[in-house]
Amino acid sequence: MSQSDSKIAFQGQLGAYSHLACKQVKPEAEPVPYESFVQALQAVEQEKAQWAMIPVENSTAGRVEEIYRQIPKTHLHITREHFQPVNHCLMALPGANPKWVASHPQALAQCHDNIIAKGLQPRAEFDTAGAAKLLSESGDLCGAVIASELAAKLYGLEIIQRHFEDVSGNTTRFIVLKKVPDPVPYDEGVAYITSVLFKVRNIPAALYKALGGFATNGLNMIKIESYMDGQTLNSSQFHIDVASHIESKGMQLALEELRFFAEDVRWLGTYKAHEFRKLDDA
């Protein structure tokens, strides 16, 4: 057994929402925290971990742009997606009388109204679980943090209020990356997503021509991200998610047309669509 077996890498501290996603998707695996997304991805490439749990977008904060820039630099494959509800908890040390609250700036923003209502002074920290760890180590009875319920358990904090966010329904989409793709047999009755990378030249209608095959073959493109490839200003790189299996006839025809108009076409992975998508469409 290699050192990567049953290990899943994530960015952040133990108790982060990424850690929570790891426990739900791979409960049998050992979650291993890393300081940065790059380090978490490299852990899989260097076979220090078998999987990486990486957030790519949030229903409130939008896309995690850094990830879309890092994925093309790796040789990893997407094997799964996971939608994680973000349920913020206000917590403090037992017996505390909080005057201030610390957390990641995005979490503070998502709980702004409730923070004001409780008369707390916000303090920005690098991440939610990190703020919980710092408070636990400091012993400060004047402080509170906003983090996950898992963080409260790990760092001995008492939950003052669950669902502390101002608006419910905040959700983060994660992708699970692996060095070797998992085979996903094609079943016409199952919903799949195929992720693809490609580049187009900076010429008129290049993107229109490259994507035309998906429309003519009746395929639903559910996501498209664009960014400069970092080497030249004359070409752009695109990441697309298509609601289809790589082996479907329509997908094969669309990719054939894509390769004709684009370059560096790279299949990132085919995986089952998460159940959350059905709820989101309802």
Task: Compute CA 70 distance to the chain's CA centroid, rounded to the nearest angstrom.
Answer: 13
Calpha distance 236→270 (Å, rounded): 23
Task: Compute CA 92 distance to the chain's CA centroid, rounded to the nearest angstrom.
Answer: 27
User: Hey, is 78 helix, strand or coil?
Assistant: strand
Specify whether 276 is catalytic. Answer: no
- Among residues 174, 198, 238, 261, the one annotated as catalytic is 174
Specify whether 172 is catalytic. Answer: yes
| Backbone torsions φ then ψ of 154, nearest 5 degrees | -70, -35
The CA R_g of the chain, rounded to the nearest whole Å, is 21
Overall residue count recorded for the chain in this entry = 282
Spatial contact of 178 and 75, defined as CB atoms under 8 Å apart? no
- Among residues 172, 194, 198, 238, the one annotated as catalytic is 172
Calpha distance 40→93 (Å, rounded): 31
- Count of CB atoms situated within 10 Å of the CB of 168: 9
Residues labelled catalytic: 172, 174
